[in-house]
Structure formats: structure tokens, C-alpha cells
Amino acid sequence: MTNPNPAFSDKEYARRLALVRSAMNTAGIDVLFVEDPSNMAWITGYDGWSFYVHQGVIVVQDGDPIWWGRNQDANGAVRTVWMGNDRVLGYDDTFVQSSTRHPMQDLSRILKDIGHGAARLGVEMDNYYFSAKAYTTLLAELPSAQIIDATALVNWQRGIKSDEELVYMHKAARIAETVIDGVIERIEPGLRKNDLVADIYGDVIRGVGDDWGDYPAIVPLLPSGSDAAAPHLTWNGDTFKQGQGTFFELAGCYRRYHIPFCRSVFLGTPPDFLKRAEAALVEGLEAGLNAARAGNRACDIAAALAGPLERAGIERGARCGYPIGLSYPPDWGERTISLREADDTVLQAGMTFHFMPGLWMDDWGLEITESILITEDGPAQCFCDRPRQIYLKG
């Protein structure tokens, strides 16, 4: 069975493959092994919950990429990748979670069979999905090969989104708006957090109209009160309480393309210090959006944000954004550019970011964010359209 309905056009996949091969040439790489599921999907279209076992895409200079993974997942590959079935290869289940065999032994055999046993082999060394055991096994099995660190080589090629990708991101944005609208409508004192999260997931997955929702790479984050000082807490069975604020870090997702979108809600009347922080944060956001122009640098956005915050006496040491697009757990960022003072990367039209200047102080937190598109001319375009404010309920 060959996939009759790939996620993107042949022209789009050819564009991506050409970018990757050019980057391989620049890095002196003969053959590239890609294990990050986001990069696998971007190159081939593969989409499956199989990243808990070793899998990957082999990119060569001549011929279509090869999908490689567990035998039982090969059925999912032939249904989602754009390549022919002869470019889908699976390994036996005896390699899975074995103490005596490793899947990289099978990958090494394949590389030898296709004439790359002594190649300059690029691998994603610093990646969630490539283990130390995988690396040492490749070293042992391919003694004549030169293993080259290709961390983020594919990620950097993904930075400028095509028109086809932006269609998916705009669909994800409509889902993100619906999810935030649902939070603001439902939240009230006494409501259990887990009950609200159940509704959040319902809105995320139902999507908008015919545009169904995919699962986001990060679970809903919604700490309240002093817990909002910790940016990555999830939920429990506690209730929302009068006199407390909660930030919601959520995302809409369509066909693995993400639009993160964060807003904060206060039940009751917020204290004056929070109102002042809100005003400074919104001013900084708008200054950053104005600086987010093609030809400016990533650090220019961070500098524009910092001015109003510093005038308000708010010190913020974290980066304030990162590229977004296609992603799988555990992260919806692309892991390349950082919107921070030390990053001089020049912004280009078609780049997409989560402009994320969250405030996490000693005993309070506040998030108001925007996912943005760098345009050909003028300031960044926001994917979502909702007020930049603390929403008041109760």
C-alpha cells in the first residue's frame, strides 16, 4: 500500500530534500541519519506514535530517503510517507528492548548494504531520541565510518515556512483561539483543574469545523497563585480559587503544526503589582512585535521587550521566544534560534516564532504571548487575534 494522500505536495517534499542535501554537502556529510520524529515527518511525512523505539530516516545524495524502524511500524510508514514501499525498511522485534541486541546493528547492516559502511555519517548527537547506546553501537558496527555531529542540521532547514505549511499553522491558530476562549468561559472558583483540562483537551482535539485537532507536543500547563512562579507545572485535582491568578500555556495543533498561545486569568480583582506587570508586559510585547521585522535580528526583539520591563523594575533572565512549526513530544519548539540578547540571527520572511516573554517571579507568574510570522515588510503578524490582557473572572 502506497500513501495516496501525502500531507504535502511532491514539490514541497522536493524543496525540503534539496535543502537538506545542500546542508549535508556544506557539512561534509555523505549520508544523514535523522532520528528526531519532527525531522523525520518534515522530510518524509511519517506520522506515528512510535518514537519510543529506535527509528529514523536515511538521507542519501542519490535516491529517495529511506524510512527505517520497527517492523510493525512499517505499516504506518507506507500509509504516511511520500516514498514508495521499497524505501520503507523494518527491523525484527527481537531488537526491541533487548539486552543482547540493538537496533543500530540493523541500521549499520543497511548502511553497509547500500554502500555507506565507510561513509561520513551524520547523526543528531544532541537529541532526545538518540541515545548514548545508539552512538556506541554505531561506533562498534561501523569502524570504517566517520561519524559527524549533525545536531539541528535539518532543524535549521525548517526555519522559513512554505505557503503549504502556513496553511496548516493558520488552522492551528483557529484551534488555539477556541481553546483559550473555552478556558475563559469555563473557569470559575471551585472548578477542579483536571475537569477544566478535560474540556481543554476536548476543544484541542475537536478542532474548528472540518479542521480536526491533533495532540500538542506539550500538555496543558496551568499553575495558579504562587505556583505560577514555576513555568512548567501541569495540573492536579485542586480547585481554582477566588483571589488567585492562573496562566494557561496551551497550543492549537493541526497535522503536527503548532501555534502556542498563552493567556492569564485572575479570579477577582488583581493586586496593583500584577496590574503594573501586565501593563509593562503588554508594552514590551508590542515593542517586540514592532521589532520583529525581516532584516532585524533575534536579539532586537529581546531588547525591545526588555525596555518596558526594566522600567517597571522587572528583571527577566530567560529567553523570550523560539521557532515553532511541526513538532512531536516533548517540545513544540524547533530548537534553533532563541529570542535573546546573545542571538544575532537575522530574521527572514516566513520564519515563525512563539514570542514567549513569560514572567516567573519568586511567588507569582504571568504569561501573555503571541505566535508570530515574520513578513516581507513591516512588523510581525500574529497568528491569533485575542486581547493582550489578564482576563478577569469571578
pLDDT digits (tens, 9 = 90+) for 296-316: 999 999 999 999 999 999 998
- Please state, in angstroms and rounded to a whole number, the distance separating the CA atoms of residues 150 and 147: 9
Q: Are 87 and 77 in contact (CB under 8 A)?
A: no
Kind of pairing between the strands at 370-373 and 381-382:
antiparallel
Cell numbers given for 13: 517534499
Mean pLDDT computed over every residue of the chain: 97
DSSP state for residue 51 in the 8-state scheme: T
pLDDT digits (tens, 9 = 90+) for 161-216: 999 999 999 999 999 999 999 999 999 999 999 999 999 999 999 999 999 999 99
3-state DSSP assignment of residue 269: coil
Residue 290 has pLDDT above 60, yes or no: yes
- Give the pLDDT score at 317: 83
Half-sphere exposure of residue 226: CA atoms within 13 angstroms, side-chain side: 2
Structural domains in the chain, sorted by start: 10-157 (3.40.350.10), 163-393 (3.90.230.10)
Three-state SS sequence of 227-250: HHHCCCCCCCCCECCCCCEEEEEE
pLDDT digits (tens, 9 = 90+) for 335-367: 999 999 999 999 999 999 999 999 999 999 999
pLDDT digits (tens, 9 = 90+) for 18-73: 999 999 999 999 999 999 999 999 999 999 999 999 999 999 999 999 999 999 99
pLDDT digits (tens, 9 = 90+) for 233-272: 999 999 999 999 999 999 999 999 999 999 999 999 999 9
Q: Are 259 and 167 in contact (CB under 8 A)?
A: no
Kind of pairing between the strands at 257-267 and 390-393:
parallel
Categorise residue 378: left if φ over 0, alpha if ψ from -120 to 50, beta otherwise: left
0.85 exceeded by the pTM? yes
